[in-house]
Amino acid sequence: MSGFFTRGNMSSSEDDDSSSDEESLIGSSSDEEEQVDAEKKKTTTAGKKPVPNRASQFLKSDGESSSDDDSEDEDEDSDGDEGPAKPAKRANAFLKGAASSDEESDSDDEGVTVVKSAKDKRLDEVENTIKTIENASKINDWVTISNDFDKLLRLMEKHRQLSATASPAALHPPVFIKALVDLDALITASSKKEKDAKKKMNAANAKGLNSMKQKIKKTLRDFEAPIQAYNTDSDAFTQAYNDAVTVVSSKDAAAAERATRKSAADAAGGDATAEDFMTVGRGGRALNLTSEGVFKTLKSIMESRGRKNTDRAETIKILSKLLEVAASPYQKIRVLLAIVSARLDYSTNLASMPHDSWCSALVELKELITMLLTKNKEYVVTEDAGEYDDMVERIPGQGEEKDNARVKIGGSLINLLESVDTEFTKTLQNTDQHGSEYVERLREEKPLYETIVKAQILFEREGWEDPTSRAVMRRLEHVYSKPTAVVDVLERTASKALTGETSQISDISVPQSASDLVYALAVYLYRTAPALLRTRAMLCHIYHNAMVGRYHEARDMLLMSHLQDSIQHADIATQILYNRTVVQLGLAAFKRGYIQECQSTLNEIFSSQRTKELLAQGTQRYSQTSPEQEALEKRRLLPFHMHINLDLLETVYLVSCMLIELPLLASLSTDEEKRKAVSRPFRRLLEQADRQTFMGAPESARDHIMQASKAMRTGDWEKARDLILSMKLWSLLDDSQAITERLAKQIQEQSLRTYLFTYAPYYDSLSLDLLAGTFSLPRRSVIAITSKMIWSDELPASLDQIDGVIVFHRTEQTRVQQLAQELANKAEALVEQNEKLLDIKLGSGPERADGGRDRGTGEGGRGRGERRGRGMH
């Protein structure tokens, strides 16, 4: 690489002073154009003698490519006399620019041979190898011969591949054929000798000879025809080869002439270097602006694709020019296919694609899909298009395609579509989330969505199951987490763009409501897609259900899917989706006022303290993560617009914890019991808050909740309620009015419970009316709450209906009694476990009747816990 660059620089620096010389060349070179043959003869000797003027040097380089071919003995010295050859080399490189776009004859090791055309280089190599073989044969070293012969065959194979376009006569250099014939003779001779001499060779050598014998037999068979031709008339054969090669090189020469002329005209001052190279590019293309040229250029671009030193920007430029000139639909489709993948290639080393480049890729992809979908139904782009000559225009029902009503073109639309979609996410990941640019880019989702829907319909029409489900999945992923209003906009544009098309999966003639759409897409995927997509579809469906507030459906679906058992084996993207779904379910529970469910659902995610990573909404720096890991994690992050509001989430979680934990904490009398926390994060915060001597005015959501908790513990429910409800976050929830009202009521009730637990030891009896007044609850619900506490043995008390009071039965326990009671409880638990075990052993049902659903959640928790361990590592 570096060598290449230095060379390149060197030659370009020389270009500066040489450009003027070249201008002066034009006159003479145009003359020579017509008489290439004569010129070539002249230059066969050029390499050896010092050349005084530059014009002939330039000419020499032209000839060199062909002169090397026909004269075997003069080739090596061209590198030897560096001095005079240097400008020639530059000219050659310059030539090559034209040639490479025309014919593309370079190989991977091209870096070194900027100067020399790759073909020449290869022929040199062929000759060198033949020479080594000859030398080895003199000393009967069959091992070397065998190795070199292999090399020779490889070289020839390459040669044949690359000059496939040339005439058949040019395929077989006479040198090679001659070497073959000689070798054959030699082998026959030496094997005869070997037989006579009995023991003269060592084992390795003999082995080499034997393998050579096999190989030459095979090779002779392969090259039967040319060898015959050579044997009958070796001169004629050589002549034919030379002629064939000359045609090619004269073409090169002609191109070079024209290019030079143009460059001369263009180079009216300015940076000559840039000008030179630019012009060549243009000159090369100018040659191809015929319909046949489109295919040629495409082919050369295809071949250079993926090489180290391909100029991707240039490729894209050429392709977009080609797109302008492409005439027939077939050409257009081919060029579109090439340009979209070229644009995607462009960004392989970048963090994300440049926005405008992505936009054009999308526009082109859309154009391609629209073409295939509506105007040009007779063309199909498929992965298994079979063999076809990609240099020929193909029209259905004509020429080669006589029997086919539809023309198949090789390419994978779904891969392009998925890459474009993935790039979209990447651009979003790499854009400032709060800038206007982000919104700008997000706006492109509309055409992207439209393209996906179009592609889906196209695949559906073609009856391709796999691409259809992948496209549907992409579509679903664009829709599932969006609020209804946004989905409506997307759907409206899509259905507007697709009037007249039909789809089995979802009705596209009218815009669908978000829920119907998600349902239809998910159901389609359940039916047809492979397991992974099905899992993802299910999670998206559940997520959506939870998001729009259908808590029960979402919960039942999640439990019935049994995903919690297997999710830790899924890929990380799916695990993230699972986490998101679970969290969304927790939010849905909260919205519906199911505090207990909300708390237990969210607990797992929060007790890890790594919420951000689990939801792929941010990374945390750890000392042990390597940069690669960090990059990997960054790539997984979701774009900002898909984030779940973490502050809201935490608030919801902590508030649920507060409502559950505080009464529980108050009801426990011993420290032992208190240590068992339902929610550790909340407990920790509470302890922190307790340690603080001063409490400032609440600022963060946490402060609010902590102060509210303190207030609740002292029975000051009004303060607690006001603190909680004063948080602005609630307005983020839909229907926040109802939610906060419900929340206020729950705070009231739980405050009452906390109060009763906390102060029961200090009262003999409490008036129900007083309680109802203090907590502004109707008397009926005070009775209900206390009844429940008494019934479930939480509160040792009973109601007195006549006096309307609660009477407490206080029992004081000594330390010994306490411990004894604890022991007894544990023993009881043990016996219960034993009984359960026995039940299972005896086979009367694997679990208790109530196990069905409750266990589901429990297992979900465990599954999540395990996964957290490996989650983001």
Residue ranges binding other proteins (CB under 8 A): 552, 556, 560, 780, 783-785, 787-788, 790-791, 798-803, 807, 809, 811, 813-814, 817, 820-821, 824-825, 827-828, 831, 834-835, 838-839, 841-853
Residue placing its CB nearer to other proteins in the complex, 316 or 563: 563
Residue placing its CB nearer to other proteins in the complex, 732 or 838: 838
Task: Tell me the residue type at 341.
Answer: S
Shortest Å distance, C-beta 821 to other proteins:
6
Residue placing its CB nearer to other proteins in the complex, 369 or 789: 789
Shortest Å distance, C-beta 595 to other proteins:
14
Shortest Å distance, C-beta 830 to other proteins:
8
Classified as helix, coil or strand, 799 is: strand
Residue placing its CB nearer to other proteins in the complex, 225 or 831: 831
Q: Which of 496, 366, 489, 506 is nearest to 424 (CA)?
A: 366
Distance in angstroms between the alpha carbons of the first and the last residue of the chain: 36
Q: Which of 777, 662, 776 is nearest to 713 (CA)?
A: 662
Shortest Å distance, C-beta 599 to other proteins:
17
Residue placing its CB nearer to other proteins in the complex, 232 or 811: 811
Shortest Å distance, C-beta 768 to other proteins:
12
Residues 6 or more apart whose Cβ sits within 8 Å of residue 238: 70, 174
Shortest Å distance, C-beta 784 to other proteins:
4
Shortest Å distance, C-beta 813 to other proteins:
5
Shortest Å distance, C-beta 157 to other proteins:
55
Residue placing its CB nearer to other proteins in the complex, 290 or 821: 821
Q: What distance in Å separates the CA atoms of residue 710 and residue 683, rounded to the nearest whole number?
A: 12
* Cβ–Cβ under 8 Å, residues 142 and 205: yes
Q: Report the 3 state secondary structure along 258-291.
A: HHHHHHHHHCCCCCHHHHHHHHHHHHHHHCCCCH
Shortest Å distance, C-beta 786 to other proteins:
8
Shortest Å distance, C-beta 597 to other proteins:
10
Q: From its phi and psi, is residue 280 left (phi > 0), alpha (psi between -120 and 50) or beta?
A: alpha
* Cβ–Cβ under 8 Å, residues 713 and 753: no
Place of tokens 């011969």: 145
Residue placing its CB nearer to other proteins in the complex, 209 or 768: 768
Residue placing its CB nearer to other proteins in the complex, 351 or 784: 784
Residues 733-765 as b/e (b if ≥16 CB within 10 A, e otherwise) read beeeeebbeebbebbbbbbbbbbbbbebeeeee
Q: Which of 395, 295, 290, 396 is nearest to 338 (CA)?
A: 295
Residues 6 or more apart whose Cβ sits within 8 Å of residue 593: 739, 742, 743, 746
Shortest Å distance, C-beta 759 to other proteins:
19
Q: What is the dihedral of CA 90, 95, 97, 98, to 10 degrees?
A: 170
Phi, psi of 766 (to 5 degrees): -135, 140
Element (DSSP H or E) covering residue 70: helix 54-70
Residue placing its CB nearer to other proteins in the complex, 699 or 850: 850
* Cβ–Cβ under 8 Å, residues 805 and 767: yes
Shortest Å distance, C-beta 601 to other proteins:
15
Residue placing its CB nearer to other proteins in the complex, 449 or 590: 590
* Cβ–Cβ under 8 Å, residues 753 and 785: yes
Residue placing its CB nearer to other proteins in the complex, 573 or 838: 838
In 10 A of CB 139, how many CB atoms? 8
Q: What distance in Å separates the CA atoms of residue 402 and residue 442, rounded to the nearest whole number?
A: 46
Residue placing its CB nearer to other proteins in the complex, 720 or 797: 797
Residue placing its CB nearer to other proteins in the complex, 2 or 801: 801
- Number of alpha carbons in the 13 Å side-chain half-sphere of residue 651: 24
Q: What distance in Å separates the CA atoms of residue 607 and residue 678, rounded to the nearest whole number?
A: 10
Where do the DSSP E strands lie in 626-779? 765-767
Residue placing its CB nearer to other proteins in the complex, 541 or 868: 541
Shortest Å distance, C-beta 522 to other proteins:
18
Shortest Å distance, C-beta 765 to other proteins:
10
Residue placing its CB nearer to other proteins in the complex, 302 or 799: 799
Residue placing its CB nearer to other proteins in the complex, 229 or 799: 799
Q: Which of 145, 125, 123 is nearest to 134 (CA)?
A: 145
Task: Tell me the residue type at 184.
Answer: D
Shortest Å distance, C-beta 846 to other proteins:
7
Shortest Å distance, C-beta 779 to other proteins:
11
Whats the size of the chain, residue-wise?
Answer: 873
Q: Which of 196, 249, 199 is nearest to 60 (CA)?
A: 249
Token reading at 657 = 């914890």
Query: What's the Cα-to-Cα distance from 81 to each of 49, 63, 76, 92, 128, rounded to whole Å?
Result: 10, 17, 10, 16, 19
Q: What distance in Å separates the CA atoms of residue 664 and residue 673, rounded to the nearest whole number?
A: 10
Place of tokens 């243009």: 282
Render 132-166 in DSSP notation, one character per residue: HHHHHHHTT-HHHHHHHHHHHHHHHHHHHHHTTTS
Phi, psi of 16 (to 5 degrees): -50, -50
